[in-house]
Structures are given as C-alpha cells and as structure tokens.
Structure 1
C-alpha cells in the first residue's frame, strides 16, 4: 500500500515542482490575450472556466488508455508503476503542455500546424494525414468498443449482433451532434460530470482494495520482468502503457481546449495537470491488476479469456458489488465515448485548418463532418484486429514528433530545450526499436540487432537536432507567428 501512495505522491509533487519548471521555461504570460478572448466565435473558440476545461481535458485524453493499457502493463510487474510515474512527469505531461500551449500561441491551430511551424512544411503535411487517419481509427474503435460493452449489459432483447448494431447507431448519432454543435453545448455541459464519475470510480476501487484487506503487490516490488509469456519489457511495456504515461492522441485533443483557455497561466493545471490526473488513474488500474490477481499468471488467464474488459468487469463487480460494478462499467463505457466524439471533432478542425474553411457557419461544419462520418461508418465494416495492433506504435510515434517540435520551439525562442529533447530522444528509441523487433512489422529483427538499431536511430536524431539548433538564430522576443527553424 505504501508504494502505491508513494507513486501517487510523486505524481502530485511532479505537478507542483517540475510542472512549474516547464511553465516557467515556456514563458506563460497571464497578460497575453488568448485565442478564446481574441477570436471568440461561439462554436470552437469559447472561453470557459479553468475548472470546467480541466475536467473536459481529462475526459478528452482518457479514453480506454489509462485503464486497458495499465492492466496489460501490470503483467510486467511493478516496473509498470515506475514508467507511469516517470513517463507522466517528464514526458507525457510535458508533451501535453506544449501541445496545448503551442496551439494557444498559434491562434488555437491544430497540432499539424504547430508541428509544421517548427519542423517544416513536409512535417505539417505528414501530420495532417497521419493525425486524421489516427483520429478516424480512434473514433471508430471508440464506437465499436462501447457498443459491444453496452450490448452485453443492455441488449434490448435482441441477439448480440443486432444489439451491437443498434448501439453503434446511437453512439454515432451522438458523435455527430457533439462534432458539429458548439463546444459548450454538449461537451462543456456533460464532460465535467463524466470526469467526476471517472475520478470517483478510480477512488472507489482503490478504497475497496484497502477495505477488503487485499495485500498490495503480493509478489513484491522488484523491477524484474515477470511477464508470464516472457514478452520483453523493452520496448513493449513503453508501447503498451501509452495513455497512462505518454500518448500522441493527447496532442490532437489539447488544441480543442486551447481554444477555450481564458489565460495562459491556466495551461499548467489544465494540460500538465490533466496528464498527471490520468497518470494517477493509470496507477490505480495497474495496481488493481497486480493486487486483485495474486499472480501475473492469474491476470493473464482472465485477459486470455476476455481481454482487459473482462478484467474491468470482474474487478469492479467483486470490489463494489453488482450495483457499484455496473456503475464502474458505465464509467468505462463513458471513457471511450467521450474520447471518440472529440476525436471526430478534432479531425473536423484539422481538416478545416488545412482547407481554410471557417467553422462558424453550420453548413460549413456539415460540409466536413458528413463525409468524415461516412468514411468512419465504412471503416466499421472492416476488420480492425490487425489495424488496432498498429495503434500503440502510431500513438507513440505521434507523441515523439510533437516532442521534437516542442524542442525546436524552445530553441527558436531561446529557451532550455532539454525538457523536450531528452524525452523526445527516449521516445525515438522506443518507437525505432519497436519498429525493428515487433512481430507485426516486416523487419522482425532479433533483439541483438533491433535494440542497437533503435538506440542508434535515437542518437542520430539527437545529433541532427543539436547541429540544427546550433545554426538556429534565436529570435529576440520571438513572435509566435508561423515560421520554421533555420
């Protein structure tokens, strides 16, 4: 129990200590007028209270990542807790802060524009395509996932296939409304309540572990790899536990709230703070996986029979009873739905930014949203078993690119770049190594070959960055207008 609360305390301390370092290095200015105040349009640029934005941001970025990822990561043992803590403080929260605050400085632009301003036009075009594809996949999977869970609980006396189809249609209809309506009409009103439910669920399950007398981490707190099937910790654990430590998906969500920020000093509690909140949720579920199940083999057996959803169902029902368990499951259903709708909304805004189509007029919103949902519906008819296996890699690759863009931003503005360039280098090593050794990719190198290649790739990227940084002329009182390094 001590180590669980120690990990939570370290995350909170990271927010108050390292979060202030990040904020000071960025140079957040409370007197600078934000896009929400300067460009208010009543649709996407809508000033909201910091507390409301925080809760919306937490729900936007959460999805199923801080639950399913840590459950799978728990198979590796307590090392998962170390990655969640260190990853959240020094990588994930830094990534989310810069994704949000660069957007604030760039008139609320989406992340492809922020990357393009700092890494060049090619990076911008790549990010436009990459982000939209990723968001479509997230949106569609977050239709099918909750539809199947809801069909198991509320089937309308239909067979399983028909019940899933009905719930898919209902969720798609909700997504469409949330995508085209002003941000304060549905998202701004419902998400703060949903976020509170999410936090209560995590707190309730943790409390019941203590009340029921479970021994926390019954197999000890060693950092050795205890995965029952022998999967290597490097780099798989760092890909598996994505949203609980660092996630590129967050970079697509932060600009949504950047358009609602009342002043820049709100950036640390909203962007950095929401990632710390997600890290705590991830700690809860990783701890549940290692404590509720007395051995990694017991956890693996449930995962093999029904996946992470079966673990959530079993843990919630056992610890909180039928009613509490049902409410916990509903909370897990809300998570993907609340990320799926903002995934489609973010895709609409990225396309709007790319095509320079204003979004104040509802007809122009429909012009983008309708084709987007038609494509999304068609994708639901394909097999996602293979595609989803690439999501973790794509997610972390996006995060890596955003961290490099943040590092360049800091160089251009005469700031200390290490807070972004070090995690960017580490994540480059993770992604490059995974690309070399993962069985779903073509290379399939042995670890003796793939590991050195991955680390060497990260080293080369860092050297190239440092060489470019030395040639960059630091702009005095650098304007935040679009421009590229060098």
Structure 2
C-alpha cells in the first residue's frame, strides 16, 4: 500500500515541481494570441475554457491505455509502478506539454508538419503516413474494445457487433462536426465519469485494505519476467504514448492562452498516470497474485478484470458506473483518432475544412479502411499499435528536442527520454515475432548501435538548423485560416 500511495503522491508532486520547471524552461508568452482566436474557423479552431479543454484532453489521450495497459503490466509486478511514475513525470507529461505548446506556437500544427519543419521535409511524408496508420489502428482497436465491454455489461444479451455498428455511427458524426458540438459538450461529463470511477476504485482499494504488493528486491518482478523492453510497450498511455502527440493539436487549436498549457497538457498526463496506478494496483492485489491474474486475463482479458474489480469494490450501481467510466475511454479516443487523421490529411493535402462535404470526402475512406481492419486478429493489431505508438513518441520527443536546441534551451529534457525509448523500439522490433525475431542479445546490440547513430545524426542536423536560424514559431500576422 505504501508503494501505491507513495507513487500517487510523487505524481502530484511532479506536477508542481518538474512540471513547473518545464513550463518555466519553455517560456510561456501570455500576451501571444493562440490559434483558437487567430485561426478561428468555427470547426476545429474554437476557443474553449481551461476546464473543458483539460477534460477533453484527458479523454482524448486516454483510450484504454491507462486501464488495460497497467492491468497487463501488473504481470510484471511492482516494477510497473516505477515505470508509471518515472515515465509519466519525466517522459509522458514532458512529451505532451512540449508537443502541445510547440503546436500552439505553429498554428496548431500536427506532428507531421512539425516534423517537417524541425527534422526535415522528408520526415513530413514519413511521419504523415506513420501518424495516419497509427490513428487508423487506434480507431479500429477502440471500436472493438468498448463493444466487447458493453457486451460483457449486458451478459452477452446484446452481441458485440451491434455495439460496433453504433460506435462507428457515432465516430462518423463526431469526426466531421465542429469540435464544440459533440466533443466540447459531452466530453467534460465523460471526463468527470472517468475520474469518479477511477477514484472510486482507488478509494475502495484503500478502504478494504487490498494487499497491494510493496516494491522490494525480492518481488521486483514475478518469476524473473523480462522487463526490458516489453514493459515499456505494455504500459504506454499511463507513462509515455505517441498517440498523445496526435491528440494534443486538437486542443492546441482550442486553448485560449499559453499559460493554460501546464494544466491541460502536463496536468492531464499526470491524471492519466494516477488512473494507471489505480488499475495496476487493483490487478496486482485482487486476484490471488500473479497466477490468478494470469488465469483471468487468459480467460476474459483486461475487460474481465475491469468488470470484476468494479463490481467487487463499488457494488452493483457503482460497478456499472465504473465499467461505463472505462467504456467511454476507448470511444472518446477512437473518435478523436479519426478526427486527428482527418485534420492531418487535410493539412497535408491543403484541403480547407469549412465545408462539411470536404470533411466527409476525407473521413469516408478512413472508415472504410478501419472497417476492413476490424477483420484482423485483435492481438496482432494491438502489437503493431504498441510499436507504432512508442515510435511516434520518439519522433515527437526528437521534434521537441530540436525545437529546444534551436532555442538554446534545455533540450536534454526531451532528448534523454526520447533516446531511452529509441533503444527500446529498435530492440523490440528486432527481437519480436512481429519484427525480425532475432536473438535478444543481438537485438540489444542493434538497439544501442541504431540509437547512437540516430542521436549523432540528430546533433548534426540540430547544429545546422541552429546555424540556419529556422524560425521556432509562425508569425501571427502570417496566419491564415486553413
């Protein structure tokens, strides 16, 4: 229990200390107009309140990541707590804050446009394809998981495919309508439901005295399970997730003032970390240890853990609210995944989005491809999603590091976590069956050598970019509505 409560305390302290440090280092410009006003178009660029933006951001970035990921990560034991806390404070929240703020400084630009500006024009095409693929995988995965949870909630009386149809219909509407019509109106309530359900489970664990394991050398991870690199892909959204880099520009286009950035971007990542801590603790303590947890996961997946933990700790009514709080996570990330994909493609092809017909013209093919992807085995999709997700996080962190290097600011805050995860993604794809399936020792060698070469190239490009005085932000007077 001390490790669990101490981890949550550290997350909160991290927001007020390291979060403040990152904000001060970046340098907020309170007087600078934001894209919400300068680029106002009544569709994607619309000023909204800090509270509304914060709750929407939390739902956008969450998905099932801070629930399903930590539940699966609980199989690694209390080591999961370390990655959630350290990863969230020093990697995930930094990633989200810098991505959001740099986007605000550049007309609400998405990651491909930022990568083009700071990492080279070739990267624009690479990252654009990578981001759209990631968003399609996210949208597809987040169609099936809430449908399965809802089917569990109705004891199978309503088939999952019926929920899939309803979710797809909702996604289409939310993707093409102005951001304040559905997302802006409903998400704050969904965000409150998510927080209430997670806090209910957390309080239930404390009140019932759940045997949450403490971190010791003996139980650092069960049965010698290999932590590196798998843990960092199992728990992503609760610690570091590239998917967030595709979501923050949605809110960078609705933020009223730069001073709100720490609450919206850094703060909501910390909130997600707390949710991840709660569900990791529930999974570790409520199912008779490692073997019991493994059996339930094998039989019913993470959804079974969510259902049983919610109803056990919160009762019938509270349990239903708890499950619904988790159901809204993938739904409210799935629709913004498709929305982000529409916006990225529109920016790439320079297609104005004021007209509804043009939004449908881009969104339609995305949903057709997603419907086809639902026929692929979920576990395969999830593995590729995990790798693509963390690869996108590395790209975003290197973009942030380049921005800070050119600005002559502390670029190490982004480059260190970016390089760490770069080693992990190279090692992962070299060693896993979905990649090259090489022996682990060779994969580690390849991971370190590959990361070292990329870092050398980064510094070479960074010195050149600084010498060429690449502009860090778009001149407000040059902004035009897309």
Could you say whether these structures have the same fold, taking a TM-score greater than 0.5 normalized by the shorter chain as the test? yes
Alpha-carbon contact 1:70-1:282 (below 8 Å) kept: yes
Q: 201, 206, 212: which is aligned to 2:202?
A: 206
**Equivalents in 2 of 1:133, 1:370: separation in Å?**
15
Q: Aligned ranges for residues 181-260 of structure 1 at < 5 Å?
A: 181-217=177-213, 221-222=216-217, 225-228=220-223, 230-260=224-254
Superposed, 1:231-380 pairs within 5 Å as: 231-380=225-374
- 1:436 has 2:430 as partner: yes
Question: SS at the partner of 2:123?
Answer: helix
Which deviates further from its counterpart, 406-415 or 451-460?
Answer: 451-460
Q: Structure 1 CA distance, aligned partners of 2:307 and 2:153? A: 11
- How far apart are residue 379 of structure 1 and its match? 2.4
Question: What corresponds to 2:4 in structure 1?
Answer: 4
List structure 1 runs of 4+ shifted beyond 6 angstroms.
Answer: none
Q: Distance in 1 between matches of 2:322 and 2:371?
A: 28
How far does residue 478 in structure 1 lie from its aligned partner after superposition? 4.5
* Superposition pairs of residues 157-176 of structure 1, within 5 angstroms: 157=157, 163-176=159-172
1:68-79 equivalent positions in 2, closer than 5 A: 68-79=68-79
Please identify, of 366-375 and 261-270, the stretch whose mean Cα deviation from structure 2 is larger: 366-375
CA–CA separation in structure 2 for the residues paired with 1:223 and 1:405: 39
The 10-residue stretch of structure 1 (28-37 or 365-374) with the greater mean CA deviation from structure 2: 365-374
Helix, strand or coil at the partner of 2:265: helix
Match of 2:137 in 1: 137
Instruction: Structure 2 unaligned segments of length 5 or more: list them.
Output: 476-482
* 1:459 match: 452
CA shift digits 1:127-154 (9 cap, x unpaired): 1111111111111111111112222333
Equivalent in the alignment of 2:23: 23
Q: Give the equivalent residue in structure 1 for 2:110.
A: 110
Contact between 1:225 and 1:233, CA under 8 Å: does it hold in 2? no
| 1:88 matches 2:88 | yes
Quote the Cα distance in structure 1 between the aligned partners of 2:296 and 2:155. Answer: 24
Conserved? CA contact 2:403–2:472, under 8 Å: no
Equivalences, count: 475
Query: Contact 1:248–1:395 (CA<8 Å) still a contact in 2?
Result: yes
Conserved in 1, the CA contact under 8 Å of 2:78 and 2:221? Answer: no
Relative distance call for 1:106 and 1:362 in structure 2 (3 A) is same
1:473 counterpart residue number: 466
1:397 to 391, 394, 406: 391
Contact 1:146–1:336, Cα closer than 8 Å, also in 2: yes
CA spacing shift, 1:423–1:92, aligned 2, 3 Å: same
8 Å CA contact retained: 1:77, 1:223: no
Bigger drift between 145-154 and 347-356 goes to 145-154
Unaligned 5+ segments in structure 1 are none
Alpha-carbon distance between aligned partners in 2 of 1:201 and 1:155, rounded to the nearest angstrom: 21
- For 1:381 and 1:240, locate their aligned partners in 2 and report how far apart those are by CA, in whole Å: 23
CA distance in 1, matches of 2:130, 2:24: 31
For residues 223 and 46 of structure 1, what CA distance do their matches in structure 2 show? 53
Find the counterpart in structure 1 of residue 478 from structure 2.
none
What TM-score does the superposition give when structure 1 sets the normalisation length?
Answer: 0.94
Q: 1:440 to 1:42 in 2, by over 3 A?
A: same
Q: CA RMSD in A?
A: 1.9
Q: CA deviation at 1:327?
A: 1.5
Q: What's the secondary structure of 2:17's corresponding residue? A: helix
Deviations 1:409-446 (A, max 9, x none): 1112222211111111101111111112223322x222
Aligned partner (choices 153, 176, 179) of residue 180 of structure 1 = 176
C-alpha distance in structure 2 between counterparts of 1:477 and 1:231, whole Å:
46
Contact 1:413 1:475 in 2 (8 A): no
